[in-house]
Amino acid sequence: MRKLLIAGCAAVALGGAAVAVAQTPRNETFRMLELFGDVLSVVEQAYVVPVDNKKLIEAALGGMMTALDPHSSYLAPAGFGELRERTEGQYSGVGLTISAEAGLVKVISPMDNSPAGRAGVQPGDVISVIDGASAAGLSVSEVSDKLRGAPGTSVAVTFLRDGEDPLEVILTREVIKIESVTGRVEGEFGIIRISTFNENTVRELNETVAELKAANPDIRGYVVDLRNNGGGLLNAAVGVSDAFLDRGEIVSQRGRRPEQIDRWAARPGDLTGGLPIVVLVNYGSASASEIVAGALKDHERATIVGLTTFGKGSVQTVIPLRGGEDGALSITTARYYTPSGRSIQKIGIEPDLEVSRSAAEARIVSRSSFIYSEAAYATALDASIGEERRGAHVPLEAPGEAWPEDKDYQMERAFDVLRAGGNLAALAPAPEGIVVTPVEQQNAAVTEE
């Protein structure tokens, strides 16, 4: 069975595949291939020092793929192996999901309880310096190679963040055992944290919900926390959505040709027994996370609380080259659509209740140049439906500067929604100290002096 990975920079493997080559006239294609050979020959003979032709060709392949969109790439053999390790749930490194744009490598999301996560790295941070050397112009694979290494070794990394001083940290590499699903009971509610979507996610979800029910048989509802979840396997996203739905379409994907449509539908059976659900999201929730949020929102099975998601609505297929001996191509093959037929590519999933976690996060949303999303990529695919992502605006709710940093405001509002049975009309007012933006001001950007 094929697997599709829809996370920030890759997807899952198809066995072998024939790839249709370009639509440019055949003679022109051959002429340009000859040009490539001529350039390589000139570089080999005239460059000031001897060159590594293999390295040059791999770089050319990488450039060709990234010219398509931010998520298509060439994976050298080592990179292909790393991708498989990630989807299997364990590897050695610092715990970051990254992507590249305009010569900069940015963080899509830090992994829970990873060296990077514990150091305070956030979605949208730019990797500026690695071990004293500039990271400008490096590819995702090159940055990944520098960040990975033997457990116990260290790497010095500088991160740039809009509006703040550079974050300089020493990260000690460790074996990243990706625990996809964790849970805890807080009062009358169960909290399900899904940090990524891998081969173990659906099994871990079932185990976690069973543990929560055993801990408190009188649970009144669940919070599914997808914040800073950068995505993963399509099949895992479908399985998680299916766990909370009794029927109906979960997601569809549509390729280049009209007949290239695949659909996934829910089977009978709701893991929670129909209890209210709140899904927490933010701009670090991407790809597979957006499939789950979109499916549960469209079927009115859950209330979405938080901030508009990243907006990655494309599917990548990894096609091994010569069985993986020469690496693989991770190439965008389709867009995906929510049950209502909406493409979220460059748009994202908008929450039912817009809430920022902090005053600083609200400022980021209010300034368009600081919003980190798929729409920020110059080469991103369009949504194919004529819609655009909502621009800079003041979030509906944001805690004031005095709100305690160790108190999760988004989670508090999720609990309020559950207490109201998922009915926003019956939702209790925001607590004291919260900025609630009047409707007429929500579309106005904040200007800072």
Ordered per-residue pLDDT tens for the chain, 449 residues: 444 555 433 333 323 334 444 455 778 888 999 999 999 999 999 999 999 999 899 889 988 998 899 889 888 887 666 666 555 556 788 988 887 776 788 887 888 888 999 999 988 889 999 999 999 888 887 898 899 888 999 999 999 987 788 999 999 999 887 789 999 999 999 999 999 999 999 999 999 999 999 999 999 999 999 999 989 899 999 999 999 999 999 999 999 888 889 999 999 999 999 999 999 999 989 999 999 999 999 999 999 999 999 999 998 888 989 888 888 888 999 999 999 999 999 999 999 999 999 888 888 888 765 567 888 888 888 887 678 888 888 899 998 888 887 889 999 999 999 999 999 988 988 877 677 765 445 444 443 33
- Please give, one letter per residue, the 3-state secondary structure of 301-334: CCEEEECCCCCCCEEEEEEECHHHCCCEEEEEEE
Q: What is the C-alpha radius of gyration for the chain, rounded to an integer number of angstroms?
A: 22
Let me know if 131 is a catalytic residue: no
Looking at 3.40.50.970, 3.90.226.10, 3.20.20.80, 3.20.20.70, the CATH number of the domain 181-441 comes to 3.90.226.10
Residue 265 tokens, joined:
């539908």
Contact 73, 328 (CB under 8 A): no
Looking at 2.30.42.10, 2.60.40.2470, 3.40.366.10, 3.40.50.720, the CATH number of the domain 90-177 comes to 2.30.42.10
- The 8-class DSSP code of residue 277 comes to E
Give the list of residues 6+ apart from residue 218 with CB closer than 8 angstroms, or none: 188
Q: Name which of 273, 194, 279 is nearest 237 in CA terms.
A: 194
What is the reported pTM?
0.80
82 SS3 class = helix
Question: Looking at 106, 312, 314, 356, which residue is catalytic?
Answer: 312
Cα dihedral across residues 352, 355, 356, 357: positive or negative: negative
Could you identify the residue written with the tokens 């900025």? 435
Q: Name which of 404, 409, 307 is nearest 349 in CA terms.
A: 307
Instruction: Tell me, rounded to whole angstroms, the distance of Cα 319 from its chain centroid.
Output: 21
Give the list of residues 6+ apart from residue 110 with CB closer than 8 angstroms, or none: 95, 96, 97, 116, 117, 121, 122, 123, 228
Question: Looking at 73, 287, 289, 366, which residue is catalytic?
Answer: 287
Where are the CATH 2.30.42.10 domain residues in the chain?
Answer: 90-177
Question: Looking at 298, 314, 373, 416, which residue is catalytic?
Answer: 298
User: Which residues partner with 263 through β-bridges?
Assistant: 252
Backbone angles phi, psi at 409, to 5 degrees: -65, -40
Where are the CATH 3.90.226.10 domain residues in the chain?
Answer: 181-441
Residue 343 tokens, joined:
């493409």
Let me know if 225 is a catalytic residue: no
Residues in the chain, total:
449
The per-residue DSSP string of 102-147 comes to TTEEEEEEEPTTSHHHHTT--TT-EEEEETTEE-TT--HHHHHHHH
Let me know if 146 is a catalytic residue: no
Residue 293 tokens, joined:
């949020």
